[in-house]
Amino acid sequence: MNVAHLLGSFIFGVIGFAVFIYGKKQSSFKALVIGLILMVYPYLIANTIAVYAIGAALVLAFFIIPGSS
């Protein structure tokens, strides 16, 4: 693990925590799932570029995929 991987894991973990709390308060299943995945996936991925690519895709998915309103 290098510094870039740790930084990416921290950044996407914090974003995931915020999205998870948002989903919990708004009762949004989409936000709960995306937030949970954002918090967990960096522990499973060893490639730094993959961590950033997957994290960016999940953050975009949170804003693009319509949720139940």
Question: What tokens appear for 29 in the block?
Answer: 């299943």
Residues 6+ apart with CB under 8 A from 29: 23, 67, 68
Residue 68, pLDDT above cutoff 70: no
Per cent of the chain over pLDDT 90 is 87
Degrees to nearest 5, angle at CA 17 with 35 and 59: 45
CA distance linking residue 11 with residue 22, whole number of Å: 17
Band (pLDDT 50/70/90 cuts) for residue 45 is very high
Residue 21, pLDDT above cutoff 70: yes
User: Average pLDDT for residues 26-43, to the nearest whole number?
Assistant: 93
Cα distance from N-terminal residue to C-terminal residue, the chain = 40
Single-letter code of the amino acid located at 31: A
Whose structure tokens read 């995306």?
34
